[in-house]
Amino acid sequence: MVFPPAAYSILIIAGPILPRTPTPAVDMIGAASVALLFIGIHIAWDTVAYMALQRGEEQYQPTR
């Protein structure tokens, strides 16, 4: 819950800095983009793992 807002905050801060000092701003934008990419992959992986485990539990429940 903390990392996505932090990454977006970095992007918001990098915008006004870009015209004055482009090198640090571009580094900040790159770091925020990579962070958002990894956050998205992590969320997608958690979703797939949850769905796979839920489906596995439904299929293997004993019948009464």
21-61 pLDDT, tens digit each: 999 999 999 999 999 999 999 999 999 999 988 877 666 66
Between helix 22-59 and helix 3-17 the angle, nearest 10°, is 160
Residue 62 domain-assigned (yes or no): no
Residue 50 domain-assigned (yes or no): yes
Instruction: Please name the residue ranges forming H helices in the chain.
Output: 3-17, 22-59
Of 48, 43, 34, which is closest to residue 1 (Cα–Cα)? 43
Both tokens of 27, joined, read: 């580094």
Residue 63 domain-assigned (yes or no): no
**Confidence at residue 61, expressed as pLDDT on a 0 to 100 scale:** 64
Of 55, 36, 54, which is closest to residue 44 (Cα–Cα)? 36
- Look at the chain and report how many structural domains it folds into: 1
